[in-house]
Structures are given as structure tokens and as C-alpha cells.
Amino acid sequence: MPQVNIFEWRDGGWLVLAGGGLWDSEDNLAVAGRMLNQTVSQGPIAYIWAATDIESADEHMETLRDLGARTGYLVDLMTESDTSLADQISEAGVIILDDGPRLGEMRDALVGPALRAIEESYQRGATVYAVGGSAALFGAYAAYGDSLLPGLNWLSHSIIVPAYGSERAERLHGWIQQHPTEFGLGLGQGSALALGPRGEVELWGNAAVTVSLGQNYRTGEETPGGG
């Protein structure tokens, strides 16, 4: 795993964790533009949707096309067969996981062939661009409303809170107290933490990213999150 300061993440292409918000805002367009420009893999865009509706996903894809995005397609986690999911995701150069109100469905549907295909594509150099609540999935723990559940642990020791602001600071602080060996990562709307294949650590968009260290946080310790 690459490690820079407190950030230790899974080997692969670019991992871009975005705070969410209106995708056509100036800040989020800047994030999406950087993501498209930094991607080195030549495959198409696979836009994975389950947390939102197909109309919203299609509108987001259209916005990306206006930014000069490559060809792409929507991937329906809920209805596609395992074989179809694996085929569509495995050929992608950019994998986008959407934001929306049905993140529990997204989390449940990712288990199995879809997640394995994402991991394999990422290891071959694909960019994974997780937006809003989907970004939370990649921490050691994932914030779901008032609850904290095990995440995928692509970013070790992290508790990721998207749409972060002053109103969520107390909740994140409480979680850090419960898990003092972890660190909190608050991603404000219009911001993104971008982790690159050569150890790059960059803040995109409005750079509204907050880090809170647990009292007993140490690098290199094992974490109980998934992964």
C-alpha cells in the first residue's frame, strides 16, 4: 500500500474520494475535470448507480461528456447479472460510484462480483471516483446517517464523512472517541481527496477536507474494517 503521512491506501490507479453536492457546481466540475485529466487508463467510463435513480445518473454522465469525457455507459448494480457486471466493470478505465439516498442498497449490491471487478480494474490502473456517500464506503468505517459500519478499508484507519460541515463535526468527533486508533476524514461538498498511483496526495475542488486524528492513532496498526 502507498503511504504518505497518515494516508495509506490500496495500490492501483487514482482513488478519488469526493464530498458530493451538486455535480454541476463550479467546484465539482473542477473535481471531475481533474479526475478525467489525471486518468491514465484508456478504457471507457463505467458509471455504477444504485444509490440514485437512472435519470440522475444519466444527467451526470451528460455533464461529464460536456467536460470532454470518453465514451461510457451506466451499470445497474440491482438488475445486471453477475457476469454482465464483471464484464462491464472489468473493461473500464474510469469507475464512478454515484451518490444518493439509497446508499445501503449500493453497499449491499457491491459485495461479490462487482467489487472484485472494481478491485481488478483499479489494480490495472483504472481510476475509481467515489462521490458523496459512496466515498464513505472506502474507509475502514463508513458513515450511514447516525450509524457507523465497517467499510471496504481501501483507505486504512479512516472514518470518512462526506458532505462534511460544522453540523457534522460533533458526530465525527464522537466516532473518533469511540475508535481512538482511527482518524476522521471530513469531505466537504465540492472537495475531493485524490490519491495517486505514485504516492500523490492532492486536494481538488475547494479543498474543504478536514482530518481529525484519534487519541491513540498510530500508522501501521491493523484496523477491524473490511478489505
pLDDT in tens, 26-67: 999 999 999 999 998 889 999 987 656 778 888 888 888 889
Q: Is residue 220 part of a domain?
A: no
Q: Is residue 9 part of a domain?
A: yes
CA-based nearest residue to 88, from 120, 66, 53: 120
Q: Is residue 219 part of a domain?
A: no
pLDDT in tens, 144-200: 777 888 899 999 999 999 999 998 899 999 999 999 999 999 999 999 999 999 999
C-alpha to C-alpha distance for 98 and 59, rounded to whole angstroms: 12
Instruction: Give the Å distances, CA to CA, from 53 to 58, 74, 109, 128.
Output: 9, 11, 15, 20
Q: How many domains does the structure of the chain reveal?
A: 1
Copy the grid coordinates of residue 5. Answer: 503521512
Copy the grid coordinates of residue 165. Answer: 460541515
Question: Could you tell me if 49 and 41 are in contact, meaning their C-beta atoms sit under 8 angstroms apart?
Answer: no
C-alpha to C-alpha distance for 71 and 47, rounded to whole angstroms: 11
Taking phi over 0 as left and psi of -120 to 50 as alpha, with beta for the rest, 205 belongs to left
Handedness of CA 22, 150, 2, 209 (dihedral sign): positive
Q: What percent of the chain has pLDDT over 70?
A: 93
Q: What is the CATH number of the domain that holds 201?
A: 3.40.50.880
Q: Is residue 223 part of a domain?
A: no
Q: Is residue 226 part of a domain?
A: no
Mean per-residue pLDDT, 97-122: 84
pTM over 0.85: yes
Q: Is residue 131 part of a domain?
A: yes
Q: Is residue 222 part of a domain?
A: no
Q: Is residue 110 part of a domain?
A: yes
Residue ranges making up the domain that contains 105:
3-213
